Structure 1
Amino acid sequence: MDHKSAVMVTPAPWFLVTPPECDGVTVERDRVTAMIDDSVTRHRITAISAPAGSGKTVALSHWARTRPAATSVAWLSLTRFDISARHILCGVLTALGQLTANSGPRWDEASVVADAKSPSIDDAHRALLDACNAFAEPVTLVVDDVHWPEQALAESVLATLIDVGPPTLRIVLAGRVIPAAVLSRALVSGQVSIIEASDFAFTESEIRQAAAALDREVSPTAAEDLRRSTDGWASAVRLSLMAPPHSVGQEVAVPRLRVDSDPLLTDYIETQIVDQLPTALASFVLATTCATDIDAALAAAVSGRDDSAALLDECVRRGLFLDRLIPEPGAGVGYRWHSVFARHCRVILARRDHEQAHSVERLAANELSGRNPLEAVDHALRGDDPAMAVRIIGEQWLSLVLQSRADLLDRACRDLPEPWSGHAQILHIRACCQDVLGDRTAAALLTGRANTATDDSGASVTLVLALATLMVADAHATLLQACDQVHSALGSARDVPPSLYASALFMLGWTEMRLRRDPARAAQLLRSAMTECEAAGQHFLARNCGVNLAFALAFRGDFTAARGSLDELTSPAGHESQQWQTYDGGIEMFAAGFIDYWQANLADALTTLRAVVAAPTTSASYRALARVYLALVAASTGRLSLLSEAEAEAARIPDTPEHGMPWPTYKLLARAKLAEARGDHATALAMARLIGQASHVPVATALVAELYRRLGQPDQARALLRTLPAAVPQYTRVSSLVTEAALRWDGGNRGDAHRLLEAALDLAEPEGVARPFSSSDSTLHRLLVAHATAGTRHGDFLAARIAGGDDWRDLDTGPTLTKREREILTYLRTPLTGPEIAKTLNLSINTVKSHQRTIYRKLGVDSRREAMRIAL
């Protein structure tokens, strides 16, 4: 698997693209709201840099929700998991996509989504920038917590939008630190307004407003004392105001608190907040603050309380540093603890009851293992249970890799303590991560370490090893063995988790399809994988299974079913999430071009295959396959300009096998076909001999046998045909039957020739397999005409093949005929008379004659005989 084809882009969770809902005791600070509004109005970029707990998120959320209806605000909260430019891109796409969902179309979402699948971030950036340039009205993008992905930010789409974004797009960046490198260019041009912590500091009057919101009475002197002691830090002010009345206004011991670790703040939160709560609620708070983001299910799991939803609402009502997040339709209600408050609560619980602190972390890990496995791993490690972390990774790793989380998964594996980080299955998993991320050297080194590790064994390690082999190995024989091992393990193991089972089925079908040994088996595996993925809740991967199933159907020759699957997958109805998926880049387009080639729709095939090669979203694998079939299309047309184009593209087909794809064989096939089309028969035969008996590439065997027959090498053609396995794709079987029929015809065995040709037609007509009948050599043409005269069950299909039923359109230069004119031209090359053509097409004879005159005029000819010659 090349590293680009395995990447999948998924949307940011809804709660990260929604401004937090302010609770009932939040002070609406008009001064701060006006400051933000003035900055956004006057400057394209607003940078808000302030420590945790300064009130910037609350102020921004209030400002965003009170903006005039004519102005749109998109919101994105970044997290510590947003460590790459691609993750930030997903978040920006989701946030801006909310504008389309909530207020109607505001940007060209479809084109941006298509380019978001690109393995090249630069291409996606350009598409997004183009879409933003089309904003018809002002839009503000608020990005909160930009300090988390500091390094990735400079390489992300945000850096591009900051530097060269349109004037209609205003950007607000908020975080503890704003990376200077991101703002340098905009600062020089005077487009940035900077708001600092001091601007958010509570004034004496605002402290009194906050006290009033909490039903407290604070004198101006006490409020000023509190302002001085806390420097107006919002969280410390709020914590102080929530203390018992006798301490309100008293000076806090430390004027400037170290919010992340100061033990005095921990003591303050413990004695003045937690201990003042009812005992049951205090216990609930200490348990549920093990996670910053929480919902009722997670709260119930870690606290053991059935009334967790009510208790969360009680915390919000009391103003206990818990924000309620407004859910999307159909989603549950989520909550977010203030990170500083939650961190100190974890310290409080740990020093009160060390074992309970570990226990709630393990409970959180267990609850999150299926829906947020990376977060679950963190909880397991905080709960001092690395074995649990390894188990979660072992259950979810393949799903994470297939959903573009390889970088985060690799980091989680590296964060495991010894000896777990050196376990064989962990090293194999890291090897897969590195292979998908494009570092095949690191992948090979990790695989070597894993193979020498002797620390663990058993069925789970065997399955991981086999699955890892499917991802990192190139040799055909190695992949065959790994496929059999995975199939055996899945069939015999009783404890394979549903997520791993579903993902493993997909990988098995994905690999079988590329190994080409049994297309029907590959299709069945992918169909089963799609069902299992849906049952396991892996909806993105389920659709990826569907896309690969469509290609597998095309590959085995079920063209009608494949086109139906492709049409269903590209239908907007019921696939709102498809815009976020990145699967094997270009697979859908290639499948369509592949079918068009075998159905002899050469113009459509050419257009589609060119698009696959040119599209930045195409993976290396499907770009190479498109180059192979572009050569076959060019050879079928014989046009010099197309041959030159195809030769240049064929030179870029890989020279070594990769992940089971036999690129050397495909490259030789492309070169042989192109040489034959140019009349260089010596080179064509030399390439054919180098291919030899490509038993694991049956289509190459069939096409080379066809080439040998046309170039006067019947013995070599027969020898190759005898090597074809029994189970081959339908189009390959049709091609081999046609070649064998022509060989029998040349050998004087006319009866067998007709029998074999009729068998080929029986297979070909239902799926429209036309290319094997489209050869212009005299032997095949005489055989087709004789067979039509002798009688066949497939008269119309055969007549079109005799007529050279390729789609007649302007492939590079030449006449442009309508669809009906091309159809009539096809029948003009048959023995059918004008009235017979009219009857076949259900037209009047006058209509046929009218079209016939137009065809002659466009082709510059005067007779049917001349038209037939040009059509050849």
Structure 2
Amino acid sequence: MPRSAFKRLVTTPWFLVSIPEPNPGSLPRPRLDDLLESSSSDFPITIIETPPGFGKATALAAMANARKESTAWVTALAVYSDPVPLFAAILSSLHYLYPGNQGIHDEITRLNQDDDPLHSRIASMLSHLPEDRRTVVVINDAHYLSKKALTDLVVPLARYSRGQLHFILSGMQSLTSWLSKETAEGIAHTIPHSEFLFTREETTELATAAGLDPERIHAANRCMHEETHGWPVAVQLLIKSQYEATVDVETGTAPTLLTEYIVNEALTSLPKRLQDFVLTATASTGTSPKLVTHLTGDISSPALLQECQRRGLFLELLRDKDSDPRFRWHPLFAQSCQDILKERDPEHYDAMQRRTAEWMATRYPSVAITHALKVKDPDFAVHMIEDVWLQMITSDHTATLESLCLEVPTAGRKLPSLLYIRACCRDILGDAIGAKMLKARADRGIATLEGDEAERTRITKAFAELLLLENHSGLDAAVSTAEEILTTTQLHRSLFTHGTFITAWNCLKLSRAPRRAAALFGSVSASAEIAGFPLIGQSAKVGLITAEAFSGRFRVARHLLDEFDTDHKVSAPNSPVVGHVVAWPDAFMSFWQGDMNRAVQLVREIDSVDGYGVDETDLARLYFAYAAALSRDTSLLNEATIMVGKMDDEETHGMPWPIYKHVAEVCLHLARGDRTRAIALLEDVKEHSWARTTRIIIAELWFRLGLPDRARRELDHVDDTSLVSFNLALYQKTLAAIDWVKGNKRRAHSRFESALDAAVPEGVLIPFIYLDDASRELMTTHSYSGTKHNDFLITRIAADAARSRKSTGVGALLSEREYEVFSFLATPMTAEEIAKNLFLSPATVRSHQASIYRKLRVTNRKDAVRQGLSL
């Protein structure tokens, strides 16, 4: 599967762009506040690089909280070493800071859709910054970034923002070397780590606030400032120990020193219950009241968490008005506590890491795997990966998943299940050869497995093959296997939800029972949010719309489309695997319902954006060619030729692109009047058994080329029991036209009525517009034969007549759909009634009305009718 289908980015969680709240009782440091403010004002980039424990985050949070109206915050993750995820995080932080800024909101949407160069995105984003203030973006834990992320993104943002955007980068290492050139140029400035040390006066103030008597301490020949050298973490720990121990800053490393203090001083000063709580609650650096309750099994745990914060135990509070509060332990403090727990009670440590992994599995699967890798039992990490790997792939964390697979102990890395997962990662990341080699190793290894391991591997293989296999028959068998597993096997809820989604997606791609695909998508859409997977739930809603459209249930699909959040009308932002696009089912239905202008407009949008699924994009290009061929518009034909040239030349993931491309070329040559070339190309179309709609279109092409017998032979291979509204209508209409030219008038009328029966309920128009002479004669004659669809036919005949008079009258100004709406304007029917007759939504009818008024240069319905009739 090509990498371009996996480009969407998951929205940055609010707690990564939320400024930490100040710790209760923290010491105001106006000197440091002024220094940070001055540096961030004078320099586009301020660098803070110190070892752990220097209070960088505390100082920055204090500054940021003091200037909340113009300070954005990003807590960096390892994935931000790539400029694009970092850009997404910066955009999210700015949107969090300026929620009413529509321009920044649009840039986030654009980032998920377009494939423009980064410099173009940077320029566009900068244009939306408020001009009345200087915005400062604080990036904490910036050591997780990379030189590339800084030089490709942060430096240009700071350099070209005309002073509107400045950065403060805070981390433990590498920042000064990464930005040495910018520092020499005066763009970046480093604040020495010594500025973060407590002064003697600040140390005394802290001690006094904690109830210590500095004079008594001095009389005992001890000096807190000299013993700690002002190192903030050492000062704080020494105060918490009531100054009962010494600190050797010169020789002790930070982790060793912290662990010693926590063991001997910080924990011993706490009540036993709180000691035990801290050792358990620090299993995860990021935590919440619900997580600590899960870990301890004690409903009073949230209160104990607040007690830790009140005591200043290196715990930051993150709060959002719309979400539950979250906390973050100082990483070194948490690590030291876990080292202590692992030494004192390894079984309890193991149990807490296991419970943390289980809690995180559905929320943050990569974090869950990281905790699972700390558990002594190596099988636990393997099973965790087997349960959440599809969730990581569908949320575009493929590279992270692959690296975590490689962190499993050597024996586990060789397991067939992990080899299948790694094969999927390689394939998604563009290494098809590596993927095939890993899959071949897995296929050989699976035969040697037994029992539970064999069953778990069988499950992994089934879903992996949905992503890896290319040929139609293999994928068809894989879908059957996956459906059997979903209905007979108890799966982890992450694997079940995402496995159902991937299975539904393949059902849709294979044109295999789209109603079954709709049922599977509907199941995911209904249950995903409750199960804790809102992102895949959104993608499933789009999949459901597409499945209903492919099922020929246009009314249902249109209703779902109208209900879909208008912010997602161009694309569903959280579907990196399938690239499902709301615009695609809309364009598909618009084509079959005869709204060519809308279909063309939507396909242009899809074609212009790299980030939609490759399959959806190429299918949209195919339908653009169909639309252009029917219209015979020269400019559209030229545009379609370019689009068809972009289509894949090889069958991929079960899609017969060479056939689709070939048929599109036939349509274009026929539309240009090159009958000889069209016939030659059509003769070369390879035999295929399952692309039913394409086969019917091929038959229609043979008929329009004046070869009805070839058309009949093509249709003889179609199983009409599997057809739905749109392709059944075209199938019956083409058969009717063949019978008509062959002189079998009675059967022609019977088949034409069957075509109307299939088309009218869903508003399918394509079989009855842009008609050849024989079909036009049949439709006109059929209107007098006692049809139960007389109103539909009268409208179609009028529209066809208007198209025949393209050079004059109102028909020359209006599109097909606009002319249909215009024909109702002289009646007393409301927009809702017109919509019902034309199988459109009232909103679409009103949109066409507005276009009609604009083209006729009028402002109301009455004048539109008068002006139209006068032309």
TM-score relative to the length of structure 1 = 0.89
Give 1:787's aligned residue. Answer: 782
> Aligned pair 1:607/2:608, yes or no?
no
How far did 1:786 drift? 0.9
For residue 697 of structure 2, the aligned residue among 694, 699, 703 is 703
Task: Write the letter of the residue equivalent to 1:616.
Answer: D
For residue 474 of structure 1, the aligned residue among 460, 470, 477 is 470
> Aligned pair 1:381/2:373, yes or no?
yes
Give 2:612's aligned residue. Answer: 618
Distance 1:775 1:242, change over 3 A: same
* Alignment partners' CA distance in 2, 1:286 and 1:825: 74
Give 2:669's aligned residue. Answer: 675
Task: Write the letter of the residue equivalent to 2:454.
Answer: G
For residue 313 of structure 1, the aligned residue among 296, 306, 324 is 306
Kindly indicate whether the alpha-carbon contact (under 8 Å) linking 2:648 and 2:658 is maintained by their aligned counterparts in 1: yes
> Aligned pair 1:293/2:286, yes or no?
yes
* Alignment partners' CA distance in 2, 1:390 and 1:80: 22
How far did 1:117 drift? 1.0
Kindly indicate whether the alpha-carbon contact (under 8 Å) linking 1:406 and 1:433 is maintained by their aligned counterparts in 2: yes
How far did 1:280 drift? 2.2
> Aligned pair 1:162/2:158, yes or no?
yes
For residue 867 of structure 2, the aligned residue among 828, 833, 851 is 851
Task: Write the letter of the residue equivalent to 1:424.
Answer: P
Distance 1:812 1:519, change over 3 A: farther
* Alignment partners' CA distance in 2, 1:470 and 1:310: 47
For residue 638 of structure 2, the aligned residue among 630, 637, 644 is 644
> Aligned pair 1:688/2:673, yes or no?
no
Task: Write the letter of the residue equivalent to 1:745.
Answer: W
* Alignment partners' CA distance in 2, 1:340 and 1:522: 49
Kindly indicate whether the alpha-carbon contact (under 8 Å) linking 1:85 and 1:156 is maintained by their aligned counterparts in 2: yes
Give 1:130's aligned residue. Answer: 124
* Alignment partners' CA distance in 2, 1:805 and 1:446: 58
For residue 93 of structure 1, the aligned residue among 91, 101, 104 is 91
Give 1:25's aligned residue. Answer: 25
Kindly indicate whether the alpha-carbon contact (under 8 Å) linking 2:363 and 2:532 is maintained by their aligned counterparts in 1: no
* Alignment partners' CA distance in 2, 1:233 and 1:135: 38
Task: Write the letter of the residue equivalent to 1:230.
Answer: T
Secondary structure, counterpart of 1:561 in structure 2 = helix
* Alignment partners' CA distance in 2, 1:284 and 1:817: 73
How far did 1:155 drift? 7.0
> Aligned pair 1:754/2:749, yes or no?
yes
> Aligned pair 1:200/2:196, yes or no?
yes
Kindly indicate whether the alpha-carbon contact (under 8 Å) linking 1:159 and 1:182 is maintained by their aligned counterparts in 2: no
Decide which moves more: 794-803 or 514-523. Answer: 794-803
Distance 1:811 1:628, change over 3 A: farther
Decide which moves more: 370-379 or 196-205. Answer: 370-379
Give 2:731's aligned residue. Answer: 736
The CA deviation string for residues 127-176 of structure 1, in whole angstroms up to 9 with x for no partner, is 45423322223222111101023366347643542343342122221111
The CA deviation string for residues 8-27 of structure 1, in whole angstroms up to 9 with x for no partner, is 42222222222222222311
For residue 325 of structure 2, the aligned residue among 326, 330, 333 is 333
Kindly indicate whether the alpha-carbon contact (under 8 Å) linking 2:583 and 2:602 is maintained by their aligned counterparts in 1: yes
* Alignment partners' CA distance in 1, 2:376 and 2:747: 76
Secondary structure, counterpart of 1:672 in structure 2 = helix
Give 1:392's aligned residue. Answer: 384
Give 2:143's aligned residue. Answer: 147
Task: Write the letter of the residue equivalent to 1:75.
Answer: W
* Alignment partners' CA distance in 1, 2:126 and 2:807: 36
Give 1:869's aligned residue. Answer: none
Give 2:854's aligned residue. Answer: none
The CA deviation string for residues 298-330 of structure 1, in whole angstroms up to 9 with x for no partner, is 32343444421121112112111122222442x
Distance 1:625 1:320, change over 3 A: same
Q: How does 1:191-270 map to 2 (within 5 A)?
A: 191-219=187-215, 225-247=223-245, 252-255=247-250, 257-260=252-255, 262=256, 264-270=257-263
* Alignment partners' CA distance in 2, 1:807 and 1:483: 48
How far did 1:848 drift? 8.8
Give 2:405's aligned residue. Answer: 413
Distance 1:599 1:182, change over 3 A: farther
The CA deviation string for residues 335-388 of structure 1, in whole angstroms up to 9 with x for no partner, is 211111222222222333333333332232233333233222222222212211
The CA deviation string for residues 277-298 of structure 1, in whole angstroms up to 9 with x for no partner, is 2222222222222221122333
* Alignment partners' CA distance in 2, 1:809 and 1:625: 30
> Aligned pair 1:595/2:592, yes or no?
no
Kindly indicate whether the alpha-carbon contact (under 8 Å) linking 1:600 and 1:807 is maintained by their aligned counterparts in 2: no
Decide which moves more: 578-587 or 139-148. Answer: 578-587
What 5-or-longer segments of structure 1 have no aligned partner?
Answer: 829-836, 856-872
Task: Write the letter of the residue equivalent to 1:851.
Answer: Q
> Aligned pair 1:439/2:431, yes or no?
yes
Secondary structure, counterpart of 1:9 in structure 2 = coil
Distance 1:280 1:825, change over 3 A: closer
* Alignment partners' CA distance in 2, 1:824 and 1:388: 63
> Aligned pair 1:544/2:536, yes or no?
no
Secondary structure, counterpart of 2:421 in structure 1 = helix
For residue 458 of structure 1, the aligned residue among 434, 454, 460 is 454
Give 2:419's aligned residue. Answer: 427
Kindly indicate whether the alpha-carbon contact (under 8 Å) linking 1:518 and 1:728 is maintained by their aligned counterparts in 2: no
* Alignment partners' CA distance in 1, 2:436 and 2:862: 71
Kindly indicate whether the alpha-carbon contact (under 8 Å) linking 2:577 and 2:613 is maintained by their aligned counterparts in 1: no
How far did 1:654 drift? 0.7
* Alignment partners' CA distance in 2, 1:363 and 1:372: 14
* Alignment partners' CA distance in 2, 1:63 and 1:578: 38
Task: Write the letter of the residue equivalent to 1:298.
Answer: L
* Alignment partners' CA distance in 2, 1:437 and 1:806: 54
What 5-or-longer segments of structure 2 have no aligned partner?
Answer: 826-833, 839-848, 850-859
How far did 1:632 drift? 0.8
Kindly indicate whether the alpha-carbon contact (under 8 Å) linking 1:550 and 1:562 is maintained by their aligned counterparts in 2: yes
* Alignment partners' CA distance in 1, 2:615 and 2:152: 26
Kindly indicate whether the alpha-carbon contact (under 8 Å) linking 2:147 and 2:178 is maintained by their aligned counterparts in 1: no
For residue 527 of structure 1, the aligned residue among 522, 536, 541 is 522
How far did 1:221 drift? 6.2
Give 1:553's aligned residue. Answer: 548
How far did 1:636 drift? 0.6
Kindly indicate whether the alpha-carbon contact (under 8 Å) linking 1:116 and 1:124 is maintained by their aligned counterparts in 2: no
Kindly indicate whether the alpha-carbon contact (under 8 Å) linking 1:86 and 1:156 is maintained by their aligned counterparts in 2: no
For residue 657 of structure 1, the aligned residue among 620, 645, 651 is 651
Secondary structure, counterpart of 2:646 in structure 1 = coil
Of all paired residues, the percent bearing the same amino acid is 30
Task: Write the letter of the residue equivalent to 2:97.
Answer: L
Task: Write the letter of the residue equivalent to 2:91.
Answer: L
Q: How does 1:49-64 map to 2 (within 5 A)?
A: 49-64=49-64
* Alignment partners' CA distance in 1, 2:737 and 2:258: 90
Distance 1:246 1:823, change over 3 A: closer
> Aligned pair 1:322/2:315, yes or no?
yes
> Aligned pair 1:822/2:816, yes or no?
no
* Alignment partners' CA distance in 1, 2:31 and 2:802: 70
* Alignment partners' CA distance in 1, 2:522 and 2:730: 28
Decide which moves more: 753-762 or 445-454. Answer: 445-454
* Alignment partners' CA distance in 2, 1:3 and 1:812: 48
The CA deviation string for residues 39-58 of structure 1, in whole angstroms up to 9 with x for no partner, is 12222222222221111110
Secondary structure, counterpart of 2:143 in structure 1 = coil
* Alignment partners' CA distance in 2, 1:653 and 1:755: 39
